[in-house]
Amino acid sequence: MLLKDVPGVLPRLENSLISKTDMWTAEVDTVIPAQFLAFRKIIKSDYPDVDIDRDINYLVRQVQFAELENVLTSPLRDYVEPNENFLLTSELKEGLQKLSQTYQHAFLFGMETHYSSFQIETMSYQQAIKVCPNTALATSIINSLIPSSRTINAFWKVENGQHVPLDDLESEVYRAFGKTWRELLSGYSRLITDEIDVDFVMYL
């Protein structure tokens, strides 16, 4: 059964922005909540005056009703309107691509450890090893670091021939993502996968 053919969806949503998407004519059992979360975020950004939550929640209710009646089975039954402060893996990937590798490492380590940008900027190599969480990404970052004999900082850059800390880390991250470090920390803890094949270890 196509999504648009779920009982109760038409005619209510025939003019909704949902009807303009590929999901509209997809088999309902292939549409997953992450697709609607990604769609929702785009609409919230591009069409702030559109109450897209009303349409999505109505659609999900029709799917849930149909499933209760044994008409269909769909992952959409598990869709929950999210906390506004979440981050999509596609957004994370896009932001990372705007940062140099050194800043990518520092940013991701900050997200993994939940440390402030200042703590990451001033963190020594030995401190980084000590606080490194037991995750594949954080461990890969530590293994990729190059200790410097000219600075104790774990994350550093070359400036005028000197090894200096990333004292502009937060501003560079804001430039790349359009969000503050605090917002990104909160969003990273609610990271939603909308690109299945994204592997952030590839940035190391």
Q: How far is CA 124 from the centre of its chain?
A: 28
Model confidence band, residue 118 (pLDDT cutoffs 50, 70, 90) = very high
Q: What is the pTM of this model?
A: 0.62
State the number of CA atoms in the 13 A half-sphere of 12 facing the CB.
14
Q: Which of 59-68, 107-116, 137-146, 184-193 shows the lowest per-residue confidence on average (mean pLDDT)?
A: 184-193
- Count Cβ atoms below 10 Å from residue 147 Cβ, excluding itself: 14
Asked whether residue 128 carries a pLDDT value surpassing 70, the answer given is yes
Asked whether residue 204 carries a pLDDT value surpassing 50, the answer given is no
Asked whether residue 201 carries a pLDDT value surpassing 90, the answer given is no
Q: Mapped to the 3 state alphabet, what secondary structure does the chain carry?
A: CEHHHCCCCCCCCCCCHHHHCHHHHCEHHHCCHHHHHHHHHHHHHHCCCCCHHHHHHHHHHHHHHHHHCCCCCCHHHHCCCCCCCCEEHHHHHHHHCCCCHHHHHHHHHHHHHCCCHHHHHHCEHHHHHHHCCCCHHHHHHHHHCCCCCCCCECCEEEECCEEEECCCHHHHHHHHHCCCHHHHHHHHCCEECCCCCCCHHHHC
Model confidence band, residue 26 (pLDDT cutoffs 50, 70, 90) = very high
Asked whether residue 84 carries a pLDDT value surpassing 80, the answer given is no
Q: 94 or 189, which is more confident?
A: 94
Share of the chain above pLDDT 70, in %: 94
Model confidence band, residue 3 (pLDDT cutoffs 50, 70, 90) = very high
Kindly report the backbone phi and psi dihedral angles of residue 164, in degrees, each rounded to the nearest multiple of 5, phi listed first: -125, 155
Are the CB atoms for 147 and 163 separated by under 8 Å? Answer: no
